[in-house]
Amino acid sequence: MARLLDPVLENDWHAVYLSSELKEKPIGITLLGERVALFRNSRGVQALRDLCIHRGAMLSKGWMKGDEIVCPYHGWRYDGEGRCVCIPAQPAGERIPPRTRTIAYACEEKYGFVWICLGEPAGSVPHFEEFADPAFRPLPCGPYKVKAAGTRVIENFTDFAHLMFVHQDLLGHPDYAELPDIQVVKEQDRIYIENIPIFQPVAHSGSDKQDGTTYVYRKEVFRPLSGRLSKTDPGNGQTLWILLTVSPVAEDECLVFMLVSRNYGFDADDANFIRFQDIVFDQDAQVIESQKPELLPLDLQAELNHRVDVFSVAYRRWLKELGVTVGTV
């Protein structure tokens, strides 16, 4: 798989793995076509290019020895900063050449995910209190494999008109398909909409409503492949929050990570919320994977746009302004 070059996405943070699944063994992931080895040592999670500088073996196929990852081919050992600290076939005490160093990537753990940046991050992974505070019971969901561009996934997130059909009887109903006028607010580092009422036939798990209700949505795209939403019952203030972030594996393949939190229904089984997201996203993925072209057209004349697509159109324009190329056409 060829490395995908995109200065915008290379310098962004991407969730790539569940923290709970990264244990004593190294694992390998692919981001923007680049193979990356993840492992834990006493300093936390580390991310190295998944390639031993000696003969190109995958470090993720090796094992841990103390704080160092061991190449399975000739036993070369690397620390978390990518330095080769041991060549077993070399006489003890002999200097290890500096060019044996491999590439280390910026790495963080947050919200139950491992995040990495292949380039130079401008800052840390964004902080959102509703997902960071354990009082809101944040629940990691996914990852979901999607055979489509990550940009298509985020555009689906910006779209309201599909709720009544793709998620019929769960998130919407065809009898309530008419949408209000939607105003998009654009700021330097995000685009968002708010105060969008959507009738949902099935109330959330843990809700005090027996039947469906009208939830008021707020949706925000704060990075090219990351967004968040809130759904609030205006009658009681019960709010569900969802963080959605997409890891571009290849031009037309991605992994989707979600985090769900809430301010109500703490007696309800957490598994109900995860199961609901699994069902909903599977419905989304089936449609997203059927779309042609697989990549998102930034030319607004390439597909027909309707006035209800205003948020999606704003997203496409924003990607073009930012200079995002991977996942677009």
Specify the pLDDT at position 234: 94
Inter-CA distances, 157 with 31, 225, 229, 281, Å: 21, 10, 9, 10
DSSP 131-166: HH-GGG--EEEEEEEESS-HHHHHHHHH--TTTTTT
Does the domain formed by 7-117 have CATH 2.102.10.10?
Answer: yes
Sheet containing strand 27-31, edge to edge, reads 27-31, 34-41, 44-49
Inter-CA distances, 211 with 11, 166, 168, 232, Å: 45, 20, 15, 15
Handedness of CA 140, 217, 145, 45 (dihedral sign): negative
Specify the pLDDT at position 92: 87
Instruction: Count H helices and E strands in the chain, helices first.
Output: 5, 17
Q: Which own/partner pairs from 168-176 qualify as long-range (CB within 8 Å, at least 24 positions apart)?
A: 169/201, 169/202, 170/200, 170/201, 170/202, 170/276, 170/279, 170/280, 170/283, 171/198, 171/200, 171/280, 172/198, 172/199, 172/200, 172/201, 173/199, 173/201, 173/212
Specify the pLDDT at position 205: 86
Specify the pLDDT at position 54: 94
Specify the pLDDT at position 278: 97
Enumerate the domain spans of the chain: 7-117, 129-322
Across the chain, which has 329 residues, the per-10-residue mean pLDDT values are 92 98 97 98 97 96 97 97 96 92 96 97 94 97 97 98 96 94 94 97 82 92 98 94 98 97 95 96 98 94 91 97 96
Supply the DSSP symbol for 212: -
Please give the CATH number for the structural domain made up of 129-322. Answer: 3.90.380.10
- CA dist., res. 40 & res. 17, Å (int): 13
Of 260, 292, 302, 43, nearest to 152 by C-alpha is 292
* Type of residue at 105: Y
Is the Cβ–Cβ distance between 262 and 274 less than 8 Å? no
Q: Please enumerate in sequence order all residues whose Cβ is within 8 A of that of 135, keeping only pairs 6 or more positions apart, or say none.
A: none
The angle subtended at Cα 269 by Cα 268 and Cα 273, nearest 5°, is 95
pTM, to two decimals: 0.94
Handedness of CA 43, 49, 51, 53 (dihedral sign): negative
